[in-house]
Amino acid sequence: MTKITDWIKEHRKLLLITLIAILFADILLIVIFSSKSDDKPEPKAAEKEYRAAAEITEVTSVAEVSQPAEQNVNTEPKNVSEKKSGIDTDYLPYCKASAVYSLKKGEFLYSNNINEETAPASLTKLLTASVALKYADADDVFTAGSELAYVNENSSLAGLAVGDSLTLRDLITGMFLASGNDAARTVAVNVARMNFPDADLNDVEAVNCFCGLMEQFAKSIGMENSNFVSPDGWDKYDQYTTVSDLIKLTEYVMSVPELRDIVAMPQKTVYSTAGKVFTWQNSNQLLDINGNYYCENAIGVKTGTTQNAGSCLISAFETDDDTYISVVVGCNTDNDRYDYTLNMIYQIL
């Protein structure tokens, strides 16, 4: 004990300096971590643009745009019961999420993973068309422009070229039948500029502004678990939806006569204002009378395929006493989505 005491006395200055250094280091670390926790990273440029676009959509002039008569769409939560309906899907191909919904009963007949987030792919175009018809008239003529340069490579196309002018009705037909991303972009920028003429929106700003309108509209029809940042459905990290929300969207689409008619068309030929001919075959094989998956009860609705979404299909089937909406997402192949859909629906029809 004496030796230890003597050593401490001999080295007390060194020990004091060491203790002070340790204390100083602790204080410095506390200051550093405290300052880091207070630092909030700046939002990414794309997020800033989207927030600005969302703010633009609050402009009161939007409410003054002539709108179609309000549709009677129920936005209340649907009656959901997982896999309890007598519909057997255990032997069917893989599917990430699926459902069958009765419009007459207002309830799910079958549901599986319907609240799980999934990429919407071109099913997004149902929302794009719904928003477009809310803020513009079907007979309005829109001209394709420089926004076509922003269409992703390998996109499905309606075949538009810069300068082509078509009615909104015909552009929606190209969006639905050919699943044209070019038509979706043309619709988005033209509708945005029509409703915000004083904003002088460039192509990117116009698309972002339209997506703000999409978000507002989606919420208004009860789509509470979705987020849309593109009008064509191309994969984006912050773009998602659920089967439950897609049922609500499809229920709205089927309540609008203009949209209900278009989704049921097997094919259509239209003309631009300059006489250019566009002939589109519906990508939905349920409507192809000569195809392997034709169903006489089918009346639409939309296909969708991207890497993140897989193969997806929203369908509608009509009988004498009911209309059924079927949704399958995340299938491995296009054939799987039709096999899954028809096997489900034939257990009901």
Which 3 state secondary structure label does DSSP give 345? helix
pLDDT tens over the chain, length 349 residues: 555 555 555 656 665 666 666 666 655 555 444 444 333 333 333 333 434 444 444 433 333 333 333 344 454 444 444 544 578 998 999 999 999 999 999 999 999 999 999 999 999 999 999 999 999 999 999 999 999 999 998 899 999 999 999 999 999 999 999 999 999 999 999 999 999 999 999 999 999 999 999 999 999 999 999 999 999 999 999 999 999 999 999 999 999 999 999 999 999 999 999 999 999 999 999 999 999 999 999 999 999 999 999 999 999 999 999 999 999 999 999 999 999 999 999 999 8
Cα 142 to its chain centre, rounded Å, is: 23
Q: Dihedral of CA 62/129/175/168: which sign?
A: negative
Closest CA to 184 of 215, 154, 147, 219: 147
Structure tokens at 46: 């794309």
CB atoms within 10 A of CB 17: 10
pLDDT score for 25: 60
**CA-angle at 98, arms to 94 and 99, nearest 5°:** 150
The model carries a pTM of 0.79
Cβ-proximal residues to 288 (8 Å cutoff; 6+ apart), any chain: 266, 281, 282, 294
Q: At what angle do helices 124-135 and 243-255 cross, to 10 degrees?
A: 40
Element (H, E) at 191: helix 181-195
Give the tokens for residue 137. 């008239």
